Structure 1
Amino acid sequence: MPGDRLTNEDRRHIAASLAEGLGFAEIGRRLGRPASTIMREVTRNGGPDHYAAQQAQEATERRARRHRKAKPPAPPVGDSSYGRDPQAVQNLVESFAGLLEQQGMSRTAARVLACLYVTDSGTLTAAELVERLHVSPASISQTMGFLEQQGLIKRERVPGGRRERYVLDDDLWLRSTLAAMHMNDTLAAASQSAAEVLGATTPAGARFGVAAEFLLLVNETFRRVMEQWQRNQSDRNAEHQP
């Protein structure tokens, strides 16, 4: 079957077919396998001129044994502060990241933000993120560049050292909402212009006119929410002043 591993008999058939001068596509057709599968099998075991069924079988078995003996992945790194269950924290990171993914964010970016969000300090270094998320340093670097560009995180130098750490503060959703408002304003202006070009009374023009009206109404609601948020923040700050 195409999804099954090659057997010793398959490998003997491959060796015999190569000796006949058959190509990968024809060998694959006879075995009911993709040509790419045959090509990988032959290439990793000496090539068309040196492929031997028994040696290929033994090499495959050695690779399988090494894979079984491989060190198991490290357990998830959760935050055990305040007596928290690290596994429960890790589950929270994954579930919260899943929600962010549903909003269109990439998996790594969503997991990074979730991981930062559940820390009490709101800060982690690249090395700490690599350890917690089990991804490559290059993946973290690329993701952080994107998040920083979007204004979702900040980068700062670790005091007394050369390393940098990434910071997520309480204004994350404020900045995200402001960015959405800016995009809504741009889309509303473009929609109004489109309605004028197409004719406001035509079906296409009316469609753009309705879109502009809706986007402007959404932003007006957002502005009222921002004003209320600022008043709440001022009240909270006043309560904490001596």
Structure 2
Amino acid sequence: MRGLKDKVVIITGGIGDLGFATAKRLFEEGCKVALFDLKETDSGLAATIDALYIQVDISKEENVKAACARVEQELGPAHVLINTAVAFVFKGIEASEDDWRKSNGVNIAGTSFVTKHTVPQMIKNGGGSIINFSSVSGFIGQRNFATYNATKFAIRGLTKCWAFDLAEHKIRVNTLCPGYIYTSAFVNSCKALNLDIEEENKRASEMHLLNRQGHPDEVAAAAAFLASDDASFITGSDLLVDGGYLAK
């Protein structure tokens, strides 16, 4: 009873590893996919699936409004919204005004703007599913991660509030909370810090009961579940895809 064929899906951060893995999975399930991202589209990725790509800064509401309107015009009103876009700002008490503005502007306000301008389309469809990406960092404290973790806690709070607000419209709202996932961002950060990739992967793997980092496809599978009719009685919930990280 997946019920995903021909559904219109908006994915923010759609060119990132997790966003694009999710886009690919939902395209394979028969969805019509729109990708929002601040970055220019990668021609290699664009050739992989037939998706509508829109370059947009989600921290700017007018840009978001125009992007969502374009989705409705070209693909039809959205049934599913998956908010994966994130600004990675890792600072502690020393965080500047600009640090907070960037982190909050994308992770909280940006997520809210896209949701605001997608919900009316879902109402036209008689319901929908919103999946907000949080993280294990939305449950715990981590050294010098305040600017990041605060937004991931906030995403979980927004999700529960929106689940209340939108239930009458048959719109389900849930968070998906990955643990450490082996992505290009992980590899690039190791290179930037002159860290041994294999050693860092081993260290991160040992944080999880399954003794490895996750893969983008595993996160995408969980997102597809929450988007589908198989999750029809799930709203206001946190789905952990963390290899047992928080069970330790």
TM-score relative to the length of structure 2: 0.21
Higher radius of gyration, 1 or 2: 1
Query: Which structure: greater strand fraction?
Result: 2
Query: Which structure: greater helix fraction?
Result: 1
Q: Which has the higher contact order (CA 8 A, sep 6+)?
A: 2
TM-score relative to the length of structure 1: 0.21
